[in-house]
Amino acid sequence: MDLIDRYMNAVAQALPESRRDEITRELRANILDKLEAISEEQGRAPTDAEISAVLVALGHPQKVAGSFLTGQQLVSPELFPLYKRALHYGLILVFILALIQFGVHFLNSGNLAIWNFVHEIIGKALIMFASVTGVFYLLSNPVGGKPYFDPYQCWSPEKLPPVTRGWQRISACEQSVDFTTDLFFLLLLNYALWIPSGQLANLTIAFTEPVQQWIPILSAIIIASLIVGLWKLVYRYWMVSTLIIEAAINGAIAIPLLLVSRLKPIVVDTSTTQEHVEALRIGNEVIGIGLFWVGIWLVFMAGWSMYRAWQLSR
């Protein structure tokens, strides 16, 4: 029955919460009826291979879940779960691009242009949404009626994750925030490595010497966090080992951030005119407070990950 539980959990994750219990109850009853028929015919309990064959005949969990969803007009029910995942990854890309533009603007001017940042995210998100929707509309309505491809043709019940608790599924919000934040900080800390030399010479904002001493350490930890983030984008569920790694990374990042937040100042004006003194003073206060609370939050998340690891290990 382990395969059935894993299959039902995978189907449930692709269903709206309001209909999850009703649909999974109906689907489980259907599966058990098929297995009962096999049991009566063979005179014994179904083997794992027979259970797997029944599940394969039903179809991929996302495909089955999509068949229960109605009212999708632009995207077919079968492709709708894949469409949502594409939008998720598209939003991550949009957020990364907007964060990079925001960081470059701050390094050039010393101003925290929050409104411009929000405006860029909204504009890029709308373009991304229209583009992804257009692609999936074409895939859902192929010329001649024959599907261009079947995204669920290569799967087996044995490959479904052994998820036993609802929180083991890593949410799209958690994935997006963690990955994009790590990438943004890595690019910001090492701006001298990727900004063109001509533009680099015109920057008027720079990290102070005490802050620069922490950059190699923070960069190494963030790279490790990005590797874990890539894992979470592919395998979207928590296990004991990955929770412990996540806790270690969060704790390792929190300590330097808390120490750097106490440094005064964090960034300085390197221009000859010193025209950004007042804006930079406010910016340093905002950055210091922000780094402090991010550090506190990471300490809390490290403890939370260890608690969840303990829950799974019981």
Instruction: Judge whether 205 and 269 are in contact, CB under 8 Å.
Output: yes
Residue % of the chain over a pLDDT of 90:
16
pLDDT value, residue 86: 84
Most confident of 92-106, 123-137, 245-259: 245-259
CA distances from 59 to 9, 53, 157, 242, 265 (A): 14, 10, 10, 30, 59
Question: Mean pLDDT, to the nearest integer, of 116-142?
Answer: 83
Q: What is the mean pLDDT of the chain?
A: 82
pLDDT value, residue 72: 47
Q: Distance between CA 176 and CA 153 in Å, rounded?
A: 28
157: pLDDT strictly greater than 80: yes
pLDDT value, residue 61: 87
Q: Distance between CA 203 and CA 216 in Å, rounded?
A: 21
Q: Any bridge partners for residue 268, and if so which?
A: 206
pLDDT value, residue 107: 61
Q: How many CA atoms lie within 13 A of 281 on its CB side?
A: 4
Q: Determine the distance from the C-alpha atom of residue 231 to the mean position of all C-alpha atoms in its chain, rounded to a whole number.
A: 10
Global pTM value: 0.63
